[in-house]
Structure 1
Amino acid sequence: MLKTALGRYINNFKGFTREVWILALITFVNRAGTMVLPFLSKYLKENLHFTYGEVGWIMVAFGLGSMLGSWLGGKLTDKIGFYKIMIFSLFTSGILFFILQYITSFWGLCFGMFIIMAISDMFRPAMFVSLSVYAKPENRVRALSLVRLAVNLGFTAGPTLGGLIILGMGYRGLFWVDGSSCIIAILIFAFYIKEKKKIPIAIEDAATKIAPRSIYKDKPFWLLLFISFITAMVFFQIFTTLPLYHHEKFGLSEFQTGMLLSVNGLLVFLLEMPIVSRLERKKANKIKNIGYGSLCIAAGYYILLFDSWVGILVISIVLLTLGEIFSFPFANAVAINRAPKGQEGQYMGLYTMSFSLAHIASSKTGLEIIAHFGYFVNWFIMGSLGILALLCGIWLNKMIQHEQK
């Protein structure tokens, strides 16, 4: 029985090209290497002795740089190709991580974080476009899920490795390892993957048949961006306000919160590829899948309104994870399939910008609501935003159906 289940699980990973596996590998190396990020605010506060306000502004610069990088990476990918952008982004950001450790002034760090994130996040839209080139059309959503799995595994491994490096080498060791991981990842990419320019078009995806048009007039795509922004902003509460709620409402320790959050990573690892593979084989409607994800995320916050039992925290994490599994890979696929040939970078640049903006808005919005109205109101608002995303998904599905007539 166990052997059969394991065999079925492994079958979900079959059919990928060598290039897709290498892209997943370098994504894992790069994400595991971004171990500076979980410790950045702690480093700024405890080692460089900045105030909370100054740390906040440096993190704003971080987010704004991420948005610029996503937009710039998308534009340049269309002009000079994803391959050159990926190599430039990772190699240069690796060098900049080495330099960043020597910057200790407030304005220097604001500028430094802005520049490093602007260059580092040029990688993301270029990488998404590369998947549309190297993955077979029928495997595209599964390839996106494979890369997401690599990201999750990298983020799981990164903080653990980072903690060990801080113990052994101090905070400066993080910058050296982070920079080195970027350079090693892109050297693997350049050595094993050759540039390929022709983009296969998935004939079954009607979205790709749309004639080239101005991205700013593509109303369904902008509605998709709004759905992605709302869904991501609400989901990211899992990393900002939820850990505070665990401690303040139920008295959980950092270790207990960490164990709860690890359920998210474990479930993504076990369930995402099988679920996505099954839905792809059934040719399930991608927009409807995004809607199911929005509904799960809404339920994950609404259930926190019944706060008399600690077990709701586990149920909430499970629902939020299912929402992530249904929403993110399919939204990603709709965005790349929506792009007319030659505009893939521009489309994916704006798509990744929606996530950068969601990161900036998520913690600020949630914390402000909690400060003024409490957790109960915050969970109600976040759940209601999930329902708003669901309703917009229904609208988007009707728009695309009308477009295909």
Structure 2
Amino acid sequence: MNTLFKNYINTFRGLSKEVWWLSLITLINRAGTMVIPFLSLYLTKSLNFSLSDVGWIMSFFGIGSLVGTWLGGKLTDKIGYYKVMLFSLFLTGIFFVLLQFATTFNEFCLGIFIVMLVADAFRPAMFVALNAYSKPENKTRSVTLIRLAINLGFSAGPAIGGIIIVSIGYQGLFWVDGITCALAGILLLNVLHPKKARILDKVKVENPVSAYKDKAFWVFFIAMFIFGFTFLQYFSTMPLYYKDVRMLSELEIGLLMGFNGFFIFVFEMPLIKWLENPKNSKIKLVAIGLFLVAISFTILNATSWFGILLIGMLLMTVGEMIAFPFSNAFAVERAKKGNQGEYMALYAIAFSLSHIFSHNSGMQMVDKFGFEFTLNVLTVLALIGVFILLILVTILKKEKEYQSK
């Protein structure tokens, strides 16, 4: 047991203190985003919106994310990642508190658009900061540590959020979200100020390539959009599936989703350490992860047994544990040939676009055809994403052969 613990601890060795600070900031920030997993429930149960209305609101959620991510990438290349992260955290805190006062359909569409525009400007800036603060050989593990922080936050967030809803109502979530964003900003100001932080990997590109002209990266972008489209159902249609079909309470839903974050926190770093090998294709690993996500949907239609919910969540969790770090690491490596902010923004935009179409499409399918049909469609779509990733493997191989000539 002692040997296992030492081996687990060793998987974290060699990461810079700046990466650890960035992870803590991300943990505080994400632990507060407990409104998001309960957003569809809040809109239907508290504000009495229809599923169709919720779908359109989630589209504005995605549009805000898309615009914010694009803007964050542009600003990162112009004014630097530190300023973008700082302003994003403080302004997000303010807008999260104000969002609780939006009660009509139009008000909430506008409110969630503004919140996500400001909040997701943080993402490309954080990825570029991570690239700068991490040694080249530690990129994938540094990304994994950030993901551990995110998922530990998501593990605690939904569980605490369920308790807050039961005890003081949904409004308490907005206040906690706002306060935690501000706390993350204060910590960033104190520990990662440019005068205090070490830059471990300076990337200078004489003639930067535009991410928008990188054909292989566009194929990757399409696959990531599909991955995001299917994965994000776990934060919109799936909570409704758990409540309406499986009859779970808000607290039980929070605990089930919290299991996802806790499992990632315990097992992701050892898994990535084991898989992190120059001989392993990052894109093939992402394909394996997306395949597991596909299976997580289709098995839910197989039986009414309660335990299948845990198995489905476990498959999805392992899938994202593999797909996210290695897709992110691929994007970081590819970004070295061009404008880093632009590349990382495009990577994040794939998921922002997913937000626009995923939640709305999922809600509309459930409303018109039911959950069983929706789960089957998600399975097929995820498998199409796997096929596209395998095509990308071939494209990258030919690209490498051409460059070696």
Give the TM-score range, shorter chain. 0.7 to 0.9
Paired amino acid for 1:231: F
**2:37–2:236 CA contact under 8 A, matched in 1:** no
Query: Could you report, residue by residue, the CA deviation over 1:22-57 in whole angstroms, capped at 9, with x for unpaired residues?
Result: 111010111112233344455555666666655554
Give the 3-state SS of the residue equivalent to 1:200 in structure 2.
Answer: coil
Residue-pair matches, total: 399
In structure 2, relative to structure 1, the CA distance for the partners of 1:287 and 1:209 (3 Å cut) is farther
Paired amino acid for 2:381: L
Matched with 1:142 is 141
State, as a whole percentage, how many aligned pairs show the same letter.
46
In structure 2, relative to structure 1, the CA distance for the partners of 1:210 and 1:374 (3 Å cut) is farther
Matched with 2:311 is 315
In 2, Cα distance between the equivalents of 1:305 and 1:162? 28
In the superposition, the TM-score normalised over structure 2's length comes to 0.87
CA-based RMSD: 3.0
1:101 CA displacement: 4.3
1:305 CA displacement: 4.4
In 1, Cα distance between the equivalents of 2:104 and 2:179? 24
Could you list the runs of 5+ residues in structure 1 that have no partner in the other structure? 203-207
Query: Could you report, residue by residue, the CA deviation over 1:231-278 in whole angstroms, capped at 9, with x for unpaired residues?
Result: 121122233344444455555555554444343223212221111111
Between 178-187 and 304-313, report the one with greater CA deviation: 304-313
Matched with 1:190 is 189
1:401 CA displacement: 1.5
In 2, Cα distance between the equivalents of 1:189 and 1:353? 24
1:331 CA displacement: 0.6
Paired amino acid for 2:284: K
Give the 3-state SS of the residue equivalent to 1:15 in structure 2.
Answer: coil
Query: Could you report, residue by residue, the CA deviation over 1:200-249 in whole angstroms, capped at 9, with x for unpaired residues?
Result: 279xxxxx999632322211111111111111211222333444444555
Query: Could you report, residue by residue, the CA deviation over 1:344-401 in whole angstroms, capped at 9, with x for unpaired residues?
Result: 1111112112112223322333343344444443333222222212211111111111
Matched with 2:35 is 36
2:235 corresponds to 1:220:
no
**1:137–1:201 CA contact under 8 A, matched in 2:** no
Matched with 2:201 is 200
Matched with 2:93 is 94
Matched with 2:14 is 15
In 2, Cα distance between the equivalents of 1:50 and 1:252? 20
Work out which of the residue numbers 350, 357, 372 in structure 1 matches 2:353.
357
Query: Could you report, residue by residue, the CA deviation over 1:88-130 in whole angstroms, capped at 9, with x for unpaired residues?
Result: 1112222333444455555444333222221111001100111
Could you list the runs of 5+ residues in structure 2 that have no partner in the other structure? none
In structure 2, relative to structure 1, the CA distance for the partners of 1:283 and 1:186 (3 Å cut) is farther
2:228 corresponds to 1:229:
no
Matched with 1:73 is 72
In the superposition, the TM-score normalised over structure 1's length comes to 0.87
In 1, Cα distance between the equivalents of 2:271 and 2:133? 22
2:325 corresponds to 1:332:
no
In 2, Cα distance between the equivalents of 1:217 and 1:186? 35
1:280 CA displacement: 1.7
Between 5-14 and 123-132, report the one with greater CA deviation: 5-14
